[in-house]
Chains A and B, each alone.
Chain A
Amino acid sequence: MKTTFTVLMVIFLAFSGYHLSFKSFRLPGFALKFYLTGIEFLFIGILLGSSFLNLLDTQTLKSLEPVSGLVLGWIGLIYGFQFEIKKVKRFPFDFFLSTLIESFATLLVVFFGVYFLLSFLDSNINIKIMGVLTIAAASACSAQTGIVLVTSDFNYNKKLITLLKYISSTDGLHALLIFGCVFLIQQPVYDKNWLVHQLYFILYITGVPFALCFLYLLFFSNRIYEKTISIVVIGMVLISSGAALVINFSPLLINFFLGFCIVNVSRKKEHIFNFLISIEKPVYLLLLVFLGAGIKFSNNFIFFIAACYSVYRLTGKIIGGMLITKISKKMSVYPANLGFGLIDSGGLAFAILYDFQQRFPCETTTYIITIALISIVYNDFLSLFFLKRLLSKDAGTIK
């Protein structure tokens, strides 16, 4: 068994390396998308993890926790950088409302659906609620990969494409807000006295991000040369991720907040973003490998549950899409099935899941994360089909 998977791993590595290294690599649509989203690295993680080769065993993953923190912080910061108020304001308010509706419709359907589905799980109720809330948050996230891939070959309704791109790049905001609630459910105990504990909790959760933000802005208020920007950015991500972990909070959320502040305040945002994005790909691939390594296939039933989760998510997206077209006259011009274009899960969903896996490690967490990841793979294969269905109905013309 192990030999088979070793061979598989080598093939995967070779293919992935090939994909990463050669631009002229051509594949059929679904497979190209598979590679573009980097899902193959999730499989490498699964093969390297305790389910198969056990090279990345629990102990090794534990020793890599500092790297995990850094990876999550990096992704959080990049995501925060997408929310430049000046740029977001360029879009109509209806778009913002659409994202909100789309996200929350998916969140609600997935939350109740999955909670009911997992009623058989015998575990701590808090962990179960937190886990379901996390995958509900992750389900709200969508990605642009499929949209970009399809629309690069065809000329489609530009308005619809703009709306889809807007929703898929901003829906993560709501997902992160919901994910933040997970940390309110199970707080670390700072003090035996309830009131003192709450005061500490508020002080840490609000004080640390603001103190970090203040430090960041102080740094960037000075002259920083191109060559040294890497030191400041790496140093700050290390500090903010480290501080988040020390206070038992999420490095993803804290860095998202910092990214949001910097992009709206600092004049050096372009330089910082260019540096952040320059190593985004390896950071993202590492995240996928780590996530994959933590997966455990306890039984075959898990594949069925993951399929149900995918159906709930799809239902949520469809309902959300339908509701969007009802909010105003302007929005009624969009097709009612626009939810079909938002099936792709995207990198932020992985980051949310990984953050949860790291922060609350237990059997239930592993089970829930495994479901979510299998479902992401299902979605990855399905999304292109649904997207083409949406776009072909919307009268696209081949270039």
Chain B
Amino acid sequence: MKKADRKIVVNYIFILIMLVLFALWIKYLNVKITWQQAGMINFSLGFLLLAAYLIGGVLNILKLPLITGYILAGIMAGPHVSNFIDTEMVNQLKLIDDFALSFIAFTAGGSLHIKLIAQRYKAILLNIFFITTTVFCLTTGFVIISAKYFVLTKLLSFEQIVAIAILSGVIAVARSPSSAIAIINEVKASGQFTETVLGVTIVMDVLIIIFFTFAMTFVKIIMSQKGISIDIPFLALAVEMFCSIIFGVIIGKGISFYIDKAGYDLPIFLVFLGFVVAKISMFLTIFMKNHFDIFLHLEPLLICMSAGFVVQNFGKSGRLFIKSLESVEMPVYVLFFSLAGASLDFTALAICWPLAVCLAGVRAVGIFIGTWSAGTIIKDPASVNKKAWMGYLTQAGVAIGFAKLVQRQFPDIGLYLTTIVLAIISINQVIGPVMFKIVLNIVGDAGRQKR
């Protein structure tokens, strides 16, 4: 470690200690009236934000990803370690999840350039097909077969195991565009391999939302115990997806119009828009159910992703759109990931770590088989082929979001799934960026970026 870095680490740790001492003093005070309770919420949020920033900063100097620091800060402040942020407060702060998820979906859609896909479309499509198939099949199969051997899952019913297996399989396919882009920028990488990884990561992050919507419908059928009726749920799903995409396209056009005609306070406009989309979607579901007895759930993630895609590819304001999202992404991500850490059931994590490690391994094997198969077909050099899997391990954002959505819709299995997913993500987020950095150096793409 460089001397300057060591100084920063010492400073950050010192500030963190001061912050914790101050927080303990405030926590010690008697909070009675709502005004004070509101203050405690503000204080806790601020504390979480700053602690996550400091821990992330220290880990980043130690060549570990920022996101690991954010999750770690959440775990430390959460109900299962220090209880500075208790379960009730974590629930109260769920509001942040809503707009953060929409925000992440805006970014995913906005990162999808048709031009980029067109350049390496064959490699991108083959990789997506093989990685998705192998990772999903291996993960799902592994959970179903091995569930009775793990403490966390052995007491679950067969339906619950199948539900967890399907959802784990889909979530295992998800990647982290933000981590991938961060590492590519960090090592100034450029080249065919980099472009393929970026293309696959981003397109997959979009497709995963559709896969996830399918998986959720499947799980609803399995968990409803009313028997399996294929036509109506799938028709309903098709309608829901179609409506979500159309709604997204309209919003995307609206955003483009706003940017072209006004464009002031765009980051704030987008954050609020994301929040509004999430809330309207929720409201519409309840409204349709209560007034017309129709279950119509417009998926906020799909809406925002479609909107982002439209702004990026069918208007002039794509660059400004992404720039605006980037300008506010840090606080949103820090809060989102640290809250995800705080909602992590640490007791369950202690029980499920063997399963998490196995699933992370199975996922890596699936990715290896997928990338190797795709590379063989498109005749990529064997040396690249064997190591390409190292570029696809990072996992974050959307995956955590999915786990949280499952937790909300299926409380019975959601807690197990969130715990497993967060454990796997923690592993992948520690190993993934390091591996990606290594492979970019091996294939010679690192340092080739012109600017």
Contacts and interface: CB of A to CB of B under 8 A. Distances in A.
Interface stretch (A31-39, A152-160, A171-179, A228-236): A228-236
Interface in B204-240: none
B36 A245 contact: yes
B261 interface: yes
Contact of B53 (A20, A68, A228): A228
Closest 9 CB pairs of A and B: A245-B39, A242-B43, A238-B46, A242-B42, A65-B38, A239-B46, A21-B262, A235-B49, A235-B50
Nearest to A230: B331
Interface in B34-82: 34-47, 49-50, 53
Contacts of B18: 214-215, 218
B88 interface: no
B268 interface: yes
A288 B19 CA distance: 33
B278 to A, nearest CB: 17
Contact of B331 (A231, A239, A246): A231
Interface in A211-232: 211-212, 214-215, 218-219, 221-223, 227-228, 230-232
B29 A20 contact: no
Contacts of B330: 227-228, 230-231
Contacts of B40: 242, 245-246
Nearest to B329: A227
A211 B23 CA distance: 11
A244 B36 CA distance: 9
Given A231-B334, A235-B49, A246-B29, A22 B261 contact: yes
12 contacts: A65-B34, A65-B38, A66-B41, A68-B38, A223-B8, A228-B330, A230-B330, A231-B330, A242-B40, A243-B39, A243-B43, A246-B26
Interface string B1-29: 00000001001101100110010011001
Given A69-B39, A281-B265, A219 B44 contact: no
B295 interface: no
Given A69-B38, A235-B53, A215 B22 contact: yes
Interface string A319-362: 00000000000000000000000000000000000000011000
Nearest to A20: B264
Given A20-B264, A218-B15, A223-B8, A242 B50 contact: no
B36 A243 contact: no
Contacts of A215: 15, 18-19, 22
Interface residues of A, number: 43
A345 to B, nearest CB: 24
Nearest to B46: A238
A156 to B, nearest CB: 30
Nearest to A222: B11
Nearest to B39: A245
A28 interface: no
A242 B49 contact: no
Given A22-B261, A231-B49, A359-B35, A238 B42 contact: yes
A92 interface: no
Contacts of B442: none
Given A223-B8, A227-B330, A245-B36, 18 more contacts: A65-B35, A66-B42, A69-B38, A211-B22, A222-B8, A228-B53, A230-B330, A230-B331, A235-B50, A235-B331, A237-B46, A239-B50, A241-B46, A242-B41, A242-B42, A242-B44, A244-B39, A245-B35
B8 A21 contact: no
A385 to B, nearest CB: 30
B382 interface: no
Nearest to B66: A228
Interface of B: 8, 11-12, 14-15, 18-19, 22, 25-26, 29, 31, 34-47, 49-50, 53, 258, 261-262, 264-265, 268, 326-328, 330-331, 334
B99 to A, nearest CB: 13
B38 A219 contact: no
A246 B31 CA distance: 7
B11 A242 contact: no
A62 interface: yes
A269 B15 CA distance: 19
A68 B45 CA distance: 14
Contacts of B44: 242
Contacts of A238: 42-43, 45-46, 49
Contacts of A240: 46
Given A238-B43, A239-B50, A282 B264 contact: no
A248 B29 CA distance: 11
A86 to B, nearest CB: 27
Contacts of B37: 65
Interface string A369-393: 0000000000000000000000000
A70 B36 CA distance: 13
Contacts of A222: 8, 11-12, 15
Contacts of B35: 65, 245, 248, 358-359
A85 interface: no
B46 to A, nearest CB: 3
A77 B8 CA distance: 27
A309 to B, nearest CB: 27
A240 B59 CA distance: 26
Contact of A21 (B258, B268, B328, B334): B258
A149 interface: no
